[in-house]
């Protein structure tokens, strides 16, 4: 080997070593992390042998509400467990995935996979379902939810929900009247007051009572009371506390005016595309089981909230016994008007109302 050849070989080896050294120094921790993550992800898929399907669940209650945990996160956990961790449900509270009135359409159109909403936020769409809102049918959310789910399971409401896959229906507890700056104990006190109504059905009741109903979803009440757009609202105790309305509305009339209808429903195509085992995980967490969890949650929420509302300095008023028959009569007129309206349209309004009453009786017996 000549001296020239020897020098050429040494120079080439040195250059390769230097290039390798600098290449190693210039590689970033992210590159190493990404390589490691890719290997781990591949290993995870091989080891677990399953693909995780993610679902979005949207609702309008605050993230701090009991509903966010007991109804939605607990439901998500149950579905994940029953699917063998093949289904992951992400919960989006406080209208972060769509405004409250658009909830049902958002599920129908696939903006969210699952939505929890109030049927009455879209007027005239669920006329038979909203019969459950009429006054005097039941005293607790547990019984109301049981009766409502029985009505749904009977097939009587199939046409109203044919665009989505319903998971369960339920009601809240009895709704009461909250006002700012004026106590209401007589019908005359309500005259001319602008009162938020949750649905058109409850709006008719407010008209019979002499108030001026103003439609809006619950998340807008605080601001509307604060700005003087409305004088009061109708809500159960747990919602008064959940939306912090006792901070600005200090007078409440305990009457039990109504109960609201709710539905938790799923995009139909999303459900139908699931394999059989994942459909079973959804089915296992549908129907009466979760209707009762919701109803009992609302009853507990009311029981927990009322002492807090009192402790905040708000006043809870009772209707004068001599006045009470007038309020009951107003509720009866509103019910008769609504049922007659449905019957006139060819819908089984009175028939459905009587079914609900029979289901209420069944539920009272079964839930003892």
Closest CA to 108 of 183, 164, 32, 52: 164
Structural domain that includes position 217: 176-259+312-366
19 falls within a domain: no
pLDDT reported for residue 1: 45
pLDDT reported for residue 49: 61
213 falls within a domain: yes
Relative to beta strand 251-254, strand 176-179 is antiparallel
143 falls within a domain: no
Domain count, the chain: 1
30 falls within a domain: no
pLDDT reported for residue 5: 40
pLDDT reported for residue 160: 98
38 falls within a domain: no
Q: What is the pLDDT of residues 25-78, one digit of tens each?
A: 333 333 333 343 333 333 223 335 679 999 999 999 999 999 999 999 999 999
pLDDT reported for residue 366: 98
239 falls within a domain: yes
242 falls within a domain: yes
Q: What is the pLDDT of residues 310-324, one digit of tens each?
A: 999 999 999 988 999
pLDDT reported for residue 131: 98
Residues of the chain with pLDDT under 70: 1-49
pLDDT reported for residue 257: 86
272 falls within a domain: no
pLDDT reported for residue 266: 98
What CATH number corresponds to the domain at position 361?
Answer: 3.40.190.170
């Amino acid at each position: 080997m000549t001296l020239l050849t020897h020098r050429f070989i040494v120079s080439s080896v040195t250059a390769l070593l230097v290039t390798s050294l600098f290449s190693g120094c210039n590689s970033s921790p992210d590159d190493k992390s990404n390589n490691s993550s890719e290997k781990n992800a591949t290993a995870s898929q091989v080891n677990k042998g399953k693909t995780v399907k993610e679902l979005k669940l949207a609702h309008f209650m605050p993230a701090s509400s009991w509903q966010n945990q007991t109804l939605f996160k607990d439901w998500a956990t149950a579905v994940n467990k029953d699917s063998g961790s093949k289904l992951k449900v992400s919960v989006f509270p406080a209208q972060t995935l769509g405004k409250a009135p658009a909830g049902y359409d958002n599920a129908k159109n696939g903006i969210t996979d699952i939505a929890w909403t109030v049927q009455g936020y879209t007027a005239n769409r669920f006329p038979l379902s909203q019969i459950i809102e009429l006054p005097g049918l039941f005293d607790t959310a547990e019984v109301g939810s049981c009766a409502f789910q029985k009505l749904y399971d009977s097939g009587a409401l199939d046409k109203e929900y044919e665009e989505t896959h319903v998971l369960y229906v339920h009601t809240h507890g009895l709704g009461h009247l909250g006002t700012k700056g004026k106590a209401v104990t007589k019908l005359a006190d309500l005259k001319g007051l602008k009162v938020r109504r949750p649905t058109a059905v409850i709006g008719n009741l407010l008209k019979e009572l002499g108030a001026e109903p103003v439609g809006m979803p619950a998340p807008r009440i605080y601001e509307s009371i604060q700005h003087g757009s409305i004088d009061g609202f109708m809500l159960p105790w747990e919602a008064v506390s959940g939306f912090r309305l006792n901070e600005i509305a200090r007078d409440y009339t305990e009457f039990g005016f109504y109960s609201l209808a709710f539905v938790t429903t799923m995009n139909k195509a999303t459900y139908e595309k699931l394999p059989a085992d994942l459909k079973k995980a959804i089915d296992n967490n549908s129907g009466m089981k979760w209707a009762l969890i919701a109803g009992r949650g609302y009853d507990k929420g009311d029981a927990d909230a009322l002492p807090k509302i009192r402790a905040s300095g708000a006043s809870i008023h009772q209707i004068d016994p001599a006045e009470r028959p007038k309020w009951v009569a107003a509720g009866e007129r509103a019910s008769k008007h609504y049922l007659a309206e449905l019957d006139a349209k060819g819908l089984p309004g009175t028939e459905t109302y009587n079914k609900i009453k029979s289901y209420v009786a069944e539920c009272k017996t079964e839930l003892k």
